[in-house]
Chains A and B, each alone.
Chain A
Amino acid sequence: MIKWLRSESFTAWAFMTPGLLLLAVFVFWPIIYSIPLALTDYSVISDTHFVGLDNFEAAFKDRNFLISIWNSLLYVLIVPFLQIFSILMAVLVNSRIPGIKIFRTTYYIPVVTSMVAVALIWSWLLGKNSIVNYLLMQVGLISKDIHWLSDSNLALYVLMFITMWKGLGYYMMLYLAGLQNIPQDLYEAARVDGASRWRLIVHITLPLLRPYVLFCTLISLMSAIRVFDEVYVLTKGGPGTATLTSSLYIFQKGMEQFNFGYASALGLIVGAMIALLSIIVFRFNRKGGVNPY
């Protein structure tokens, strides 16, 4: 016993205990506990009963839930655009010219700012009698006011645009790191062999950037499905259900209507979807065949 107390094993566990304990409570426990929770009608208001798979059955008949999943899937459409634009931005800010660091910093400011502030700014830029409409009319692109956030055909795309606007700098910085990690002598060697600029991009830059593309695609995919703050601040899911995303719907069921059992079931369904999507992205990249970005 005393010997064990002085062993590396004991010290290791002693070091890790506080962290692992918190992880257990706030990361593992929610995953485990939401399963039995989803099988009940647990809510603050009434007694709790075991209801089996009723919540799941109800979920697939719940029109709003299906709409929210569809909206979340539409939101994933921003992933390829976000990646393409941020790679192009990274290439642009990778040039060695005076003042480039100031530009890099500038592009990062939306990332640093809170989503609440960003959402408020855009709600005014796009609101009634708004600057954006005014400028577009001045340029002659539109002839009458567009109701960016209250038009049910537009609102979701406007939110997607704002999400992308805020995220560009973040992914740009990651890709910039990737670009700068490519050893310069690779390019020089290829140039000596007479490779064109295009061949350098296709045969050196893109292959070496791939781990970054995988990483960025995965995290942007997950955050696109998880999107919450901008929707909550700007539209609360409206008009109607036009911008109801799955996390917003689960939040409404859980934290506003205190329907914990049902919300857990919805969460498990969407969680399974996310896991599936990540596996697909991994597969795509491992096979090495098609790389969509």
Chain B
Amino acid sequence: MNLKDDKMLRSSLPKKESSRIMRSLARILRMTVIYVLLVLLALFLMGPFLWLLSVSLMPGRNIFSTPPAIFPTFIDFDNYVQVWQFMNFPKYMLNTVIITVLGVVLNVVLASLTGYPLAVFRFKGKNLVFTLLIATMIIPSYTAFIVHYLTIQGLHLGNTYLGVVLPGAVSVFNIFLMRQTFIHIPTDVRDSGKMDGASEFRIWWQLVLPLVKPALAVISLLEAMSFWNSFLWPIVILNDTELYPLAAALTYLNGQFAYNFGWIAAGTMISVLPIIILFLFTQRYYMEGLAGAVKG
């Protein structure tokens, strides 16, 4: 509806009607402004990825054209085929999956084991444990990686995946998150397990853990992202480049083939797609959990 129509309408309609139309016009205007802002933001935050996708689909001569090409003149998958053949991506993918799964499992098990007594048991030393956990948050260990390196070498875990994963296998944040979740489990659950003569471990494993699946999902997702994307510590610990995870392999690829833009773009796309897809499928749990984690 344009302005002229609006004026005509206003003069011909009773006052009440016209104010209703004004209000709905204002609403439409507000919605339009919101959508424009949302789209601009989306371009700002997604644009670089879309451009990367576009570059990865460009044939070589497009990439180095002047002015720089934003869209390919024709789409081909040569870059993907070539970089896939050259880089042994399945190997790097497998490395990343091993590191990620190992890291996620250790985090979930250790955080829920450690957080459980802090939530439901009464025992001597509980306050001491709490104080120690909080202390680690206040006193940052800024050079942890130096001592970690010495420790891992001392344990003879250099060049192994266990050495890559162990320093990040347990986190105070996850322990607190699990404790916060366990606190809200009704005491009846544990009591009824005890009546049936189940051991504490069985109560934890069979009765309590199934009730806290959302929290476990959140820890899994958070840790999956951080292990999937880790690159520096793997480079420090792994001498053998064949063992590198994707993100580390990517810096390696960039160092070797800085001139072959299309390849690196395709390689980068291959490395980011799995985690983005995982996120898209699980984002509901992730968002809720992230929110719950702060609220806790």
In contact, B66 and A95 (Cβ under 8 angstroms): no
**Which residues B84-100 have CB closer than 8 A to chain A?**
none
Partner of A233, one of B37, B111, B143, B251: B251
One digit per residue, 1 when the CB lies within 8 angstroms of any chain A CB and 0 when it does not, for chain B 128-148 equals 010011001011111111111
Asked if A74 lies at the interface with its beta carbon under 8 angstroms from chain B, I say no
In contact, B148 and A26 (Cβ under 8 angstroms): yes
A30 and B143 in contact (CB under 8 A), knowing A97-B31, A125-B48? yes
Tell me the smallest distance from the CB of A158 to a CB of chain B, in Å.
14
Distance of A59 Cα from B295 Cα, bound (Å): 41
In contact, A134 and B34 (Cβ under 8 angstroms): no
Spot the interface stretch: A103-111, A183-191, A193-201, A283-291: A103-111
In contact, A260 and B146 (Cβ under 8 angstroms): yes
In contact, B290 and A95 (Cβ under 8 angstroms): no
In contact, B231 and A268 (Cβ under 8 angstroms): no
Distance of A211 Cα from B122 Cα, bound (Å): 29
Partner of B250, one of A33, A116, A247, A275: A116
Residues in B neighbouring A125, C-beta threshold 8 A: 48, 51
Tell me the smallest distance from the CB of A88 to a CB of chain B, in Å.
9
Residues in A neighbouring B144, C-beta threshold 8 A: 26-27, 30
Residues in B neighbouring A139, C-beta threshold 8 A: none
A-B contact count (CB 8 A): 239
Partner of A11, one of B49, B117, B124, B166: B117
Partner of A254, one of B70, B145, B200, B248: B145
In contact, B136 and A28 (Cβ under 8 angstroms): yes
Partner of B34, one of A92, A180, A255: A92
Spot the interface stretch: B1-9, B12-20, B212-220, B273-281: B273-281
What does DSSP make chain A's interface, helix, strand, loop or mixed? helix
Partner of B140, one of A173, A232, A271: A271
Asked if A115 lies at the interface with its beta carbon under 8 angstroms from chain B, I say yes
A19 and B148 in contact (CB under 8 A), knowing A8-B122, A114-B272? no
In contact, B45 and A169 (Cβ under 8 angstroms): yes
Residues in A neighbouring B169, C-beta threshold 8 A: 22, 26
In contact, B113 and A19 (Cβ under 8 angstroms): yes
Distance of A16 Cα from B124 Cα, bound (Å): 13
Asked if A76 lies at the interface with its beta carbon under 8 angstroms from chain B, I say no
One digit per residue, 1 when the CB lies within 8 angstroms of any chain A CB and 0 when it does not, for chain B 31-43 equals 1001101100110
CB-nearest residue of chain B to A169: B45
Distance of A45 Cα from B143 Cα, bound (Å): 20
Asked if B264 lies at the interface with its beta carbon under 8 angstroms from chain A, I say yes
In contact, A26 and B151 (Cβ under 8 angstroms): yes
In contact, B166 and A26 (Cβ under 8 angstroms): yes
- Give the interface centre of A117, A131, A254, A278 by most chain B CB atoms within 10 Å: A117
Asked if A81 lies at the interface with its beta carbon under 8 angstroms from chain B, I say no
In contact, B231 and A116 (Cβ under 8 angstroms): yes
In contact, B114 and A15 (Cβ under 8 angstroms): yes
Asked if B229 lies at the interface with its beta carbon under 8 angstroms from chain A, I say yes
Distance of A170 Cα from B232 Cα, bound (Å): 22
Asked if A178 lies at the interface with its beta carbon under 8 angstroms from chain B, I say yes
In contact, B148 and A30 (Cβ under 8 angstroms): yes
Residues in B neighbouring A8, C-beta threshold 8 A: 121-123
In contact, A121 and B136 (Cβ under 8 angstroms): no
- A to B CB contacts below 8 Å, 21 in the list: A15-B204, A26-B144, A26-B148, A26-B166, A27-B172, A34-B141, A110-B49, A112-B275, A114-B229, A114-B231, A114-B247, A114-B272, A121-B268, A174-B294, A176-B291, A247-B142, A251-B145, A255-B236, A270-B142, A271-B140, A271-B142
Known: A16-B113, A124-B265, A264-B147. 10 other contacts (CB 8 A): A13-B123, A15-B121, A23-B170, A26-B169, A30-B144, A34-B147, A106-B45, A106-B46, A228-B232, A250-B142
Interface positions of A (Cβ within 8 A of B): 7-9, 11-13, 15-16, 18-20, 22-23, 25-31, 33-34, 37, 89, 92-93, 95, 97, 100, 103-110, 112-118, 120-122, 124-125, 129-131, 134, 165, 168-169, 173-174, 176-178, 180-181, 211-212, 215, 222, 226, 228-229, 232-233, 247, 250-251, 254-255, 260, 263-264, 266-268, 270-271, 274-275, 278
